[in-house]
Structure 1
Amino acid sequence: MNHFAHPHRLAGRASVLAVAVAAVLLGAAGASHAQGAAPAESAMVKLIRGLIQSGALDKNTGEALLAQAQTEAMAAQQAQRLAAAPAAGAGAGAVAGATTGGAARAVAGDVRVPYIPETVRDQIRDEVKDEVMAQAKAEGWAAPNETPEWTKRIRIEGDVRVRNESRFYSGNNSDIQIDWAAINQGSGFDVNPNTNLSLPPLLNTRQNRTNQWRARARLGVLADISDSVKAGVRIATGNDNSPVSTNQTLGGGLAKKDVWLDQGWLSYQPVSWLNLTGGRFGNPFVSTDTLFSTDLNFDGIAAQFEKALPNKDVTMFGTLGFIPLEYSSDNSPRNSQEKMKSENKWLVGAQVGANWKVNSDNRLRGALAYYDFHNVSGQVSQPCALYAGADGCGTDWTRPAFMQKGNTLMLLRNIALNPLDPANTPQPQYVGLASKFQLLDVNLRWDTRVAGYGLRLDGNYIRNLAYDENEMWTRANGGIVNNFGGSGGTARSDFRSGGNAYMFQATFGKPTPAARGDWNVLAGYKRIEPDAMPDGYNDSTFHLGGTNARGYYLGGSYAVDKNAWVTGRWISTKEVFGPPLAIDTLQFEFNARF
């Protein structure tokens, strides 16, 4: 708040206050005159003249008040003289009055002052006071400690989490788990053994990582632009630009940590039951972290509706979202006069559901969604002569911008061999998703009470309606590179995958601890087959992210104070198909929100 106001504004405020003070004093003087008291003329005149000289009262207003004060003083003096006249004079006046019918005759030099009832004076004083206070409140100087109006339309919220995490790997795990994401982020991996004898980048699968300290901090500003328009901006920590995690690993030589734009959106509510949001915003769909991480935010636009049925016990809701996932480069290939056409990857999602308040102890929620991940599958390129200086291949854009692990992958480049030395032609490859993804997502929740405590049961089933092994192998032209059985074979008969996923979870106690003493315990189980969903968007903790994972998890939370709670969690997972990969994760964390 600016405590140093403009001089003209201060003069205006002082003028208003001076008028109000003078008006009140004049009213008080008038009241005392009416009661026969002698006016404090010199004091009144000096006060008004002093206000004029100080500049607090403009000259015209001051002279008017001065004239009024002098007039009332003269009237008071005249009334005093009449009251002090001899009794005989009073008697003579009475006889004369009787002779003239009771009307007193005017005497030369008398000043006639109209009588103003006390109720009228009070009304004038109250009106002046109300006008002054209204102006003072409008300018924000009547109550200097009061918050300005615009700040009442802005809210600050955020949360902080400190976590200790340990990861335990089985000694029987396969030690050949390729880090496909690292290959796609570089210039490709040369698959020709004649020109490259090194191994591809590999994931750690056997060495435990214990007592890693991690932190998460998020700070958001929400603004009510009007009754129907709102805006939000949030920043968050993060090791990198991963869409599924805002965790920051501590250490690193005590270097400063990165902060990212986590959200930035505008929303418009044209009617009470419809809300439109655009920008980068939180998950608009009802889902679990089996499909979408709780840290995942969405780019694009979303329309959400919510409408209570006439009985008020059932509320229908739904969401329609258009989410851009990736755009092809505007300048690809870089070293070619002919640029590739625009290619976009999109997620189109539609969901409908209902909340049903069965009674005071039981609530049900169900939601059915369809998600079409458009244009995300890999494509084999036309022959590209990288040996002759070609700047990439025509389908390099189909590799995912972000991936975790688990999806079936295929080679993207059809690399032409150098006819002068075909055996020694480098063949740097990228990989893309072999499957299409059109998901049917069913979510169910039941909130009830057992022995006086809350019990929440969640269930989630996901089916990739586009999963088709034959189509995947045809699209890849035989170039499938993973998700084979543990025997080491890479033929079609060795391939193992699937398109289903499900989750069950039970939470006993308070699902979201808020008040001191709130607590909960939970247990759950997940199974996610390799191509049930894109592996880039789900929880990054369960099996360290991605698909081709199954296992259980246990946890509990306790609120040590208002909006502050501790949590412990144990997660035990292994692969669904393929070489062994068992990972256990232990987490302890302290959370606070504001």
Structure 2
Amino acid sequence: MKLKNMITTFIAGVFLFTGAAYAGDVDILLNKLVEKNILTKEEAKGLSDEMKKDGEKEKKVTAGAVKEGFELPKWIKNTEVKGDVRIRYQSQDTDNDGRVSRDRGRIRARLGVVSKPNDKWEGAIGLATGGSDPRSTNQTLENTFQTPDIRLDYAYAKYSPIKSISIMAGKIANPIWGTKDLLWDTDIYPDGLAATLNFKVKDNLEIFATPAYFLLDEYSSSKSDPTMTVLQSGIKTNINKNIDLKFAAAYYNFSDMEGNDFSEHSSNSNTRISETNNWLYEYDGITLDGEIAFKLSEKIKLVESLSLFGQYVNSDADANNKGFLYGFSFGDKSIKAAKDWQVKVNYRKLEKDAWADFLPDSDFYSGATDVKGMEYELIIGLAKNITLGLDYYHAKPILGNTTRKEGLFQADLVVKF
């Protein structure tokens, strides 16, 4: 009798946890128990009927919960996890520097979470490989399988009172628009506060503005903490169905830059005071960015679009205070699938005191100022969210040792998810 009770309890538990989907399997089990004379036909039928009644009750409870609005919280539904992995081969060779060419394997891994608890608020956290350098998330493969560091890449809160206005604070994605990386390395996530304002004037014309306030450093023994204030404004327009134009101008105001050395992340290429090795200038200035894109005729199936772009900067330093970049790209407008491709070529020149030397692209002559040269880039789509990129930089100093030319080649495999 004890055995029969144990078997009955076990079968009831199986049905309870597996549900109606396995009801047929339970009936087969009951028939086998009848054949073995463990249960009578009447006992098996009674047990089957009772379990089916319990199953119907469970269905009604579940259906009622759904009908009453039982569901996952909205913020969970509005949470997105994203990231990418990049595998890189890099070769770097600088003439007359007393060193051999350097070949490296490097990786980058990034993982981020973006959540919207409601229609107006957004919060995000991102992690990435790399060290303390704000211009690099690369991890060189070295030191006998050493485990790489993972650091906070970004963390911000964003409030959008209306569709056309957003305010964000924290360690944020750079809100300043630029056609290329003459002025800002794309790995930099500035610390501070910014707003983006976008207004559609008419169907083919949009104006935008971006005020921002960034914290550059904090000194416990001084009130003179260096900061950066930016105001950028611009337009975006469709001249016709085949031509798009975007243009922006910005003013940068740096505070308390003079007299600081910025030794942690400076490229040491700006002018310094010889006695103290501190900076001589503030680097206030104006910048211009522009791009015009042409959608080519459908008859030219190989090339979807062609664009021309440029950047310009002029600081308030007494001399060597200008910089510019111009270039073109052609191919597919964006890389979304296999066989998509894009070529980019640009020439740049950044004078010694045109710009603060802790901001430019660190791949172009280690992010220094007082340099000029070319960049050639090819990106090929291997599959959806998978690309192969080939990038080559050729640069040299403008005023310094002009024989120290540098060639840098990078081959990148990127997988996004």
Residue 176 (structure 2) aligned to one of 267, 285, 295: 285
Is structure 2 residue 312 aligned with structure 1 residue 461? yes
TM-score, normalised to structure 2, is 0.81
Cα distance between partner residues in 1 of 2:70 and 2:401 = 70
CA distance in 2, matches of 1:252, 1:139: 56
Partner of 1:528: 350
State yes or no: 1:136 paired with 2:66: yes
**Could you list the runs of 5+ residues in structure 1 that have no partner in the other structure?**
1-13, 15-45, 58-127, 142-146, 172-204, 333-340, 379-396, 414-430, 470-497
Give the 3 Å change call, closer, same or farther, for CA 137–231 of structure 1 in structure 2: farther
AA paired with 2:83?
A: G
Number of residues of Structure 1 aligned to a counterpart in Structure 2: 363
The equivalent of 1:518 in structure 2 is 340
Residue 313 in structure 1 maps to residue 176 in structure 2: no
- Distance change (3 Å), C-alpha of 1:253 and 1:314: same
* Inter-CA distance 227–134: structure 2 relative to 1 (3 Å threshold): farther
Contact 1:400 1:433 in 2 (8 A): no
Post-superposition CA distance 1:301-328 (Å, at most 9, x none): 101100101x210111110001011111
- Deviations 1:68-88 (Å, cap 9, x if unpaired)? xxxxxxxxxxxxxxxxxxxxx
Label 1:137 to 1:402 Cα distance change in 2 as closer, same or farther (>3 A).
Answer: farther
Question: 2:163 aligned with 1:272, yes or no?
Answer: yes
Say what the alpha-carbon RMSD is for the aligned residues: 2.6
Q: Given the superposition, is the C-alpha separation of residues 589 and 372 from structure 1 closer, same or farther in structure 2, using an over 3 Å criterion?
A: same
Task: Tell me if 1:152 matches 2:81.
Answer: no
- 1:587 has 2:405 as partner: no
CA distance in 1, matches of 2:85, 2:78: 24
TM-score normalized by the length of structure 1: 0.58
Match of 1:592, as an amino acid?
V
Distance in 2, matches of 1:286 and 1:264, equals 20
Three-state SS of the structure 2 residue aligned to 1:133 is: helix
Aligned equivalent of 1:164? 89
Give the partner amino acid of 2:254: F
Counterpart in the other structure of 2:11: none
Q: Quick one: which amino acid aligns to residue 468 of structure 1?
A: D
CA contact (8 A) 1:140 1:148 kept: no
Mark the CA change 1:553 to 1:50 in structure 2 (over 3 Å): closer, same or farther: closer
Cα 1:398–1:525 change in 2 (3 A) is: closer
Q: Per residue, is there more helix in 1 or in 2?
A: 1
> For the pair shown, which has the larger CA radius of gyration, 1 or 2?
1
Q: Determine what percentage of the aligned residue pairs are the same residue.
A: 25
What is the correspondence of 1:68-83 to structure 2 with a 5 Å cutoff?
none
Cα distance in 2 for residues equivalent to 1:398 and 1:578: 20
* Offset of residue 149 of structure 1: 5.0
One-letter code of the match for 2:385? N
Distance 2:327 2:150 in 1: 33
Residue 159 (structure 2) pairs with residue 229 (structure 1): no
The answer to whether structure 1 residue 405 and structure 2 residue 268 are counterparts is yes
For residues 425-445 of structure 1, what are the alpha-carbon distances to aligned partners after superposition, in whole Å with 9 as ceiling and x for unaligned? xxxxxx211122112000000
Shift of 1:544: 1.8
Matches for 1:42-441 after TM superposition, within 5 Å: 133-136=63-66, 149-171=74-96, 205-238=97-130, 240-287=131-178, 288-309=180-201, 311-329=202-220, 332=221, 341-378=222-259, 399-411=262-274, 413=276, 431-441=277-287
Contact 2:75/2:118 (<8 A) preserved: no
What CA deviation, in whole Å up to 9, does each residue of 1:258-315 have, x standing for no partner? 0110000000011121100000011101123100001111111101100101x21011
Which residues of structure 2 form unaligned runs of 5+? Answer: 1-15, 17-45
2:291 corresponds in structure 1 to: 445
| Partner Cα separation in structure 1 for residue 317 and residue 333 of structure 2 | 35
Residue 206 of structure 1: CA displacement?
3.4
**Cα distance in 2, alignment partners of residues 251 and 511 from structure 1:** 37
**Do residues 577 (structure 1) and 404 (structure 2) align?**
no
- How many angstroms does 1:211 deviate by? 2.5
What secondary structure does 2:76 align onto?
helix
Contact 1:216-1:246 within 8 A present in 2 as well: yes
The question of whether the paired residues in 1 share the 8 Å contact of 2:75 and 2:117 is answered with: no
Q: In 2, Cα distance between the equivalents of 1:412 and 1:267?
A: 44
